[in-house]
Copies of this chain bind each other. A is one copy, B any other.
């Protein structure tokens, strides 16, 4: 089995040390699930990539969608077998610049596209649920970068480094003012009396594709949805809690350690199962 990498359409395994993604994190990425070689929510991922690249002063060529489609086709050809599931990672960086923060217009972006094995979750978290822990690391309030899946991810790295125990599948992270933001690698929703809640991500966090899809489903299905600033105490009275992203789909949260000796627990309810089944119908599971 070969998991290949294409850089600007060429089979490569490495990027020049002068890449501005490495030097400054000047770039962004998408993580996309493939089901039997078919990318899930492809158009939504490409749309986010285009919008967010602009916010990072990265100009994508008009044919970027086509180039990425060609990359995917070529990677699948190189892989030679059709896998049940795999993960496609697209990274766009501002390219290879000189030393210094300014970059010349003549510098081309770098397009890195990789196939990776689908992560194995033998404990079936989608079915059985997971435990969360509250991280001490806080997300800085940075409206200019909020929502973007950019390459400046030290906050997530430090939050994830807070625990080793496999008892916890995910950590919940607050913003600098103590409001719920997201998981280290996922978005957070909860449900109370039939209303869905999720944190506003206008000041920090990643506006995930599955998050966007759940928000759209709520609208389509007439589920009441509230997006706002919520303190962690809101989880105490929640009926159901979930985390989601493009690879894990929706994981029910069955317990959380919020402070020492303060363990919360929830059952897996009908809202969770309904969202899982509607997303599964779109290939998100």
Q: List A residues at the B interface (Cβ < 8 Å).
A: 5, 7, 12-17, 19-26, 29, 31, 56-57, 87, 89, 91, 93-94, 99-103, 112, 114, 116, 119, 137-138, 140-142, 144-145, 150-161, 176, 184-185
Q: Report copies per complex.
A: 2
Residues from chain B with a CB closer than 8 A to the CB of A144 are 137-138, 155, 158
Residues from chain B with a CB closer than 8 A to the CB of A20 are 157
Whether B7 pairs with A13 at a CB distance below 8 angstroms is no
Question: Who on chain B is nearest to A87 by CB?
Answer: B99
Q: Please, how many angstroms separate the alpha-carbon atoms of A26 and B21 in the complex? A: 11
Q: Please, how many angstroms separate the alpha-carbon atoms of A211 and B3 in the complex? A: 47
Residues from chain B with a CB closer than 8 A to the CB of A141 are 140-141, 176
Q: Please, how many angstroms separate the alpha-carbon atoms of A63 and B63 in the complex? A: 49
Whether B153 pairs with A24 at a CB distance below 8 angstroms is yes
Q: Please, how many angstroms separate the alpha-carbon atoms of A26 and B159 in the complex? A: 12
Question: Who on chain B is nearest to A28 by CB?
Answer: B154
Whether A17 pairs with B24 at a CB distance below 8 angstroms is no
Whether A157 pairs with B14 at a CB distance below 8 angstroms is no
Whether B102 pairs with A160 at a CB distance below 8 angstroms is yes
Residues from chain B with a CB closer than 8 A to the CB of A145 are 140, 154-155
Whether B24 pairs with A101 at a CB distance below 8 angstroms is no
Whether B185 pairs with A100 at a CB distance below 8 angstroms is yes
Partner of A153, one of B14, B31, B152: B152
Q: How far is the CB of A206 from chain B (nearest CB, A)?
A: 12
| 9 contacting pairs across A/B (C-beta < 8 A) | A15-B22, A22-B22, A23-B29, A24-B152, A26-B154, A31-B99, A57-B161, A94-B157, A103-B157
